Amino acid sequence: MNVGGPALQIFGLSTHLNKKKFEQLLLTGFCDHEEIDFLTTHEIQVPVIMVPGLGRKLKLISDLCAFFQVWQVMRQFRPHVVHTHTAKGGVLGRTASILSFQNHKRVHTFHGHLLYGYFSKFGTQIVILIEKLLAKQTHILISVGSQVKKDLLNVKIGNLSKFRVVPPGLEINLTKSKMQSRTELDLDQNAVYFSWIGRVVPIKDPLRLIRIAEITKRSKLPIRFCVAGDGPLLPEISQLAQNRQLPIDFLGWQPDIERVLAASDAVILTSINEGTPLSLIQAQMAGKPIISTAVGSVLEIVDNNKTGFVGDFDDDEFASCILKLSEDSTLRVRMGNLGREFALKRFSVERLALDHEKIYTDLFF
């Protein structure tokens, strides 16, 4: 339950699933030391069992111990539905379900995939083989966007009849003004801020932000960037920004993402691979235009040239979009208003819960 997409979706389901119909039990592991545990910042409304070893990294002995504990809990709790999230959780959870020899219905959500940007070619083929085998024993496969589903089907993971596309569901509560938020975050009141939000890890390509900031700095416009997030690459990019005197503010991990969005004029994403990035949905709900690489299902949540700019941009093209928005406040407001209207209509947490209730019910009737 590290802070991110899967945790937000699980939290939404724990809050909004009909409690008269569904009894929930959450099994989750401990976050790595550089990650923030969502459960420490939010009060989840379902019982939670912490499973040592059920973390991001692969460790044979601890993974086997985690598997055995998950298997034991399934034997005791006897769920009708086992719903797994994330790659490792999906492997351990579904395997434990199969070997528990109970009549579970298995559901797995792909919040993204590991088909590129994570492993070597050989490693990726191993991942595909494992997912193919597990998909045969999974009753419903959920993808957070159509592109994610298409990518998985292209490598023959699952089949069309098993897949359901369920977009994310979120809620946002902006209670502070831009001025107040910038004061609290110690940001420049007169700058145009482009916010980068997420884990500072290679797959998010934060080093590209350094290159883009170097280009936009030459314009002499009052453009600044802020990075809201933590991760192993944070020391490197903060040092680069300092050495090159780039207009980037590093906020670290922020528990109040609404405050960051209130302080922002636009939000950018530089990722190499994504599922359906929730930070962009949150940004649109807050009325902020988007500039993003065309990865994962971004084009399903951002209306290109209407609520933001999405494309296979090189660094100069990315910087050009930033310059365009920074110079035109009317364009920022128009794109932001259209984005808010679109996101609130399509990505509500109430809709997310209803979609899941139908999936679970349809498994039995």
Bridge-based pairing state of the strands 140-143 and 163-165: parallel
pLDDT of amino acid 94: 97
This prediction's pTM: 0.76
**Higher pLDDT among residues 58 and 209, named by residue:** 209
pLDDT of amino acid 2: 82
- Nearest Cα to Cα of residue 44 among 91, 86, 80, 9: 9
Report, as an integer, the average pLDDT of 153-176. Answer: 91
Q: Which amino acid is at 172?
A: I
Model confidence at 212, pLDDT cuts 50, 70, 90, reads very high
Q: What pLDDT, in 10s, does the model give residues 113-160?
A: 877 777 788 888 999 999 999 999 999 999 988 888 999 999 999 999
pLDDT of amino acid 278: 87
Model confidence at 251, pLDDT cuts 50, 70, 90, reads very high
Q: What pLDDT, in 10s, does the model give residues 309-326?
A: 999 999 999 999 999 999
- Residue 98 confidence (pLDDT) above 80: yes
Distance separating alpha carbons of residues 167 and 161, to the nearest angstrom: 18
What is each CA distance from 82 to 52, 144, 159, 210, 351, in whole angstroms?
19, 18, 20, 43, 21
Model confidence at 333, pLDDT cuts 50, 70, 90, reads very high
pLDDT of amino acid 308: 97
Model confidence at 3, pLDDT cuts 50, 70, 90, reads confident
pLDDT of amino acid 28: 95
pLDDT of amino acid 275: 79
Report, as an integer, the average pLDDT of 350-356. Answer: 95
- Residue 84 confidence (pLDDT) above 90: yes
DSSP H helical ranges for the chain: 5-16, 60-77, 87-99, 121-136, 146-154, 178-185, 206-217, 234-243, 257-263, 278-285, 298-301, 315-327, 329-346, 349-362
Report, as an integer, the average pLDDT of 160-175. Answer: 90
Distance separating alpha carbons of residues 143 and 243, to the nearest angstrom: 42
pLDDT of amino acid 31: 84
pLDDT of amino acid 354: 95
pLDDT of amino acid 91: 94
pLDDT of amino acid 33: 75
Which domains are present in the chain? 5-170+348-362 (3.40.50.2000), 178-346 (3.40.50.2000)
Report, as an integer, the average pLDDT of 255-280. Answer: 92
- Nearest Cα to Cα of residue 269 among 198, 170, 346, 192: 198
Task: Tell me which residue has tokens 């349809």.
Answer: 362
Model confidence at 256, pLDDT cuts 50, 70, 90, reads confident
Distance separating alpha carbons of residues 265 and 287, to the nearest angstrom: 9
- Residue 360 confidence (pLDDT) above 80: yes
- Residue 183 confidence (pLDDT) above 90: yes
Q: What pLDDT, in 10s, does the model give residues 15-57?
A: 999 999 999 999 999 887 777 788 888 889 899 999 998 877 7
- Residue 297 confidence (pLDDT) above 90: no
pLDDT of amino acid 42: 84
